[in-house]
Amino acid sequence: MTKRIVLLTATATLTGALIYAAAQQPAATPPALAPAPPAQAEEKLEVPPPPFSDGIFPCSQCHKDMKPNRTRRTLTEMHTDIELKHDADHRWCLDCHDANDRDHLHLASGELISFDESYKLCGQCHGEKFRDWRAGVHGRRTGYWNGHKKYLLCANCHNPHQPHFKPLEPKPAPNRPTRDSVSR
């Protein structure tokens, strides 16, 4: 017990001495920060053209003389084949499509992007999938490990208005080989 008290007392004394010595030192000026590295130009990814329906792009063909209607509603005059099942309670067409420039999408920041860059839009909400897509784990990527790569857009596999795949029925388990079926 006595050794423990001596040890605790020595520790407290040493800690107090260090705090006192630090308080007596003049404040050190922080070292100058190194300049930030120059911003690198964003890599342009090679992707195939988006899978538009025939005759539907450029959107400005029809929308050029239309005044944007920003009211959330069910579409009844055109695009009636589109059923939004992509967070439908919180999302609407103009959350992704730009109201003033229908040939572009827009990010949450308002930045306009082409349909060829739609992966940036998807990545805003689906960051984990975007990371995996860039790494080649999600979706299809071809090319060289440390070189040029080609990617498929999210819309090449997922309908952006209804992105979930329909459930697949599992296949039966394979037949186990028997000794008779194994060739020697």
pLDDT tens sequence across 147-173:
888 999 999 989 888 888 777 788 888
Mean pLDDT in the chain?
Answer: 81
Give residue 120's pLDDT band: very low, low, confident or very high (50, 70, 90). very high
Look at strands 105-106 and 112-113 and give their pairing: antiparallel
d(CA 121, CA 88): 17
Q: Are 151 and 45 in contact, with CB atoms under 8 Å apart?
A: yes
The answer to the question of residue 146 being in a domain is yes
Rounded Cα–Cα distance for residues 57 and 103 (Å): 8
Q: How many domains does the chain have?
A: 1
d(CA 82, CA 162): 9
Under the banding of pLDDT at 50, 70 and 90, the label for residue 146 is: confident
Please indicate, yes or no, if residue 18 is contained in any of the structural domains.
no
Confidence band (pLDDT; 50, 70, 90) for 32? low
Q: Is 70 inside a domain boundary?
A: no
CA dist 45 → 54, 134, 149 (Å) = 25, 10, 8
Residue 38 lies in a domain: no
Q: Is the pLDDT of residue 29 over 60?
A: no
% residues pLDDT > 90 (the chain): 24
Q: Considering only CA atoms, which of 112, 98, 127, 120 is closest in space to residue 47?
A: 120
Of the two residues 142 and 25, the one the predictor is more confident about is 142
Instruction: Report if residue 114 sits inside a domain.
Output: yes
Judge whether 27 lies within some domain: no
Q: Mean pLDDT across the stretch 35-63?
A: 76
Which residues does residue 142 pair with via DSSP β-bridges, in sequence order? 150
Q: Flag whether 104 is in a domain.
A: yes
More confident residue, 46 or 5: 46
* Structure tokens given for 114: 């082409």
Whether the per-residue pLDDT at 38 is higher than 60: the answer is: no
Q: For residue 105, what are the domain limits?
A: 44-51+84-162
Residue 99: per-residue pLDDT: 92
Does residue 31 lie within any of the structural domains? no
Highest mean pLDDT: which range of 79-88, 105-114, 147-156, 165-174: 105-114
